[in-house]
Amino acid sequence: MSGDVVVRWIGPEDAPAFQALRLSGLREAPTAFGSSYAEEKDEPVDVVRQRLVSPEGQARERGILGAFVSGELVGTMGIRLLTSIKQRHQLLIWGVYVSPQHRGGGIARAMLAETLAFARTVPGALLVKLSVNAGNQAALRLYQTAGFSVYGTEPAALCIDGTLHDEHLMQLWLHAVPAPYAKAP
């Protein structure tokens, strides 16, 4: 990874850059997102800005990391704690994207490391989940190298221009796997 890469949480001041990169990603890599360019292209930047505001007085349970090269936003990775009482032990990674000209240099790996470090600080969090297009071998390798495992596959999870795409469901236990879930030797 290049020395001029900075990975940090993005905030409201980054809304225009975040929106531009996300729209670029939705066009360039539609199989990587559950949303679409058509759904987000007309969203006002002020709506995006509001989503990037951290709730005052609350523990941080969500955020979006940005990777910046020479001050330009080139990668994103979101994480959020699931909110229902029965799911508050799980975090979800979403919106992972690195612009094509910056892939292969360790940016996604750096964002993932930072995201997982954050996840380990969330009180009560036991595991991190994500879904990834079954055909995205580079992303699968990245997540498997970080310790994620596939626990299922959702057939036909996305339909893009009439083509169906499967998604692998992956998870990573943040701490020791509780006994009922540990695999026998």
The mean pLDDT value for 1-23 works out to 90
Fold of 5-181: Aminopeptidase (3.40.630)
pLDDT number for residue 3: 60
Where are the domains positioned within the chain? Answer: 5-181
| Residues 29-42 pLDDT 10s | 999 999 999 999 99
| Residues 75-104 pLDDT 10s | 999 999 998 999 999 999 999 999 999 999
The mean pLDDT value for 9-33 works out to 96
Burial of residue 182 (number of CB atoms within 10 Å: 0-12, 13-18, 19+): exposed
pLDDT number for residue 53: 78
The Cβ-side half-sphere exposure at 139, using a 13 Å CA radius, reads 23
